[in-house]
Structure formats: structure tokens, C-alpha cells
Amino acid sequence: MRSPCPPGEISFSYGQDIHEDGSVSGGPMYYMEKRLKMKWLAIIFAIAAVICSFGTGNMPQINNIATSVEATFNIPAWITGLILAVPNLFGIILPHKEMKQLIKDYWAKFKREHPEDAAKIRVKELRDLEKTG
């Protein structure tokens, strides 16, 4: 069976460091440096990954969503793009756990202040789930 992502699979097997505090570091750069003994290749890979991150990430998906929303609902793409980009910025600024807690707190407050609207949203989510599944 062929794997869709050999570098990621190899890095799980051969390129991880588990630190004393329980955190894990790893990835293709680690196995290139530590297992293949090619630090120069690891440096090139890391630099290429940083350069590629500027043109990838969630932005292409946001562009596709914004274009689809514009075609379907006539909402300008820049508005949808802005709405979807803001959580990405918070993801950069806030750690994942803090962002998750912030969203949970906001949703709880919304449910308290607008119970009818929250119920409508939940019913719509359940109906959408039934359709897909």
C-alpha cells in the first residue's frame, strides 16, 4: 500500500524528539538531520517550508470559499475573505487552547442572550448533518 505523504510518515517513525516536559519536536527536518546525517538538506527543507507557508495555508481555501459565497449569495468576496481571515489571525496570535476557550465562551454568552437564535442555528446544523449523512 502506498502512502500519500512519505515524508510525514517517515518523520513519525524516525524523526521525533520527546523532551523531558512531554512535548514533542519532529518532522522531516529532524530525520534529515539526525537519521540521514544531512543537516544541509534539513536546513534547505526548513527554509523552503517557511517560504511556501506564505503562499499556502488557509488562504487558498478562504479564496475558494469567498468566491463560492459571492457566486451563491452575492456577498462580496472581500467581506467573506475578511471574516474568514480574522480567525486565522487569532490562531497566530493566540495558542489553540486559548482560542478554543474564547469561542466556547462567546458561544455560551450568545446562547444565554439569544436562546431562540441559538436553537435555530443548532437545528440547522442537525438538519445539515442529516443531509450529509
CA–CA dist 111, 114 (Å, integer): 5
Q: Do 63 and 127 fall within a single domain?
A: yes
pLDDT of residue 57: 64
The mean per-residue pLDDT over the stretch 25-38 comes to 81
Q: Do 27 and 73 fall within a single domain?
A: no
**Helix 96-113 crosses helix 115-132 at what angle (to 10 degrees)?**
120
The mean per-residue pLDDT over the stretch 35-48 comes to 88
Q: Do 63 and 128 fall within a single domain?
A: yes
Segment (H or E) for 131: helix 115-132
Strands (E), 2-132: 16-18, 24-26
The mean per-residue pLDDT over the stretch 3-8 comes to 62
- Residues 6 or more apart whose CB falls under 8 angstroms from that of 46 comprise 29
Report how many domains make up the chain: 2
In a domain? residue 46: yes
Q: Do 38 and 102 fall within a single domain?
A: no
In a domain? residue 48: yes
pLDDT value at 59 more than 70: no
CA–CA dist 31, 6 (Å, integer): 12
What is the percentage of the chain residues whose pLDDT exceeds 90?
5
Q: Do 66 and 113 fall within a single domain?
A: yes
| Full residue range of the structural domain in which residue 45 is found | 6-53
Cα 121 versus chain centre, distance: 23
Confidence of residue 46 (pLDDT cuts 50, 70, 90): confident
The mean per-residue pLDDT over the stretch 104-132 comes to 75
pLDDT of residue 1: 47
Fill in the DSSP letter of residue 133.
-
pLDDT of residue 44: 92
In a domain? residue 1: no
Q: Do 45 and 70 fall within a single domain?
A: no
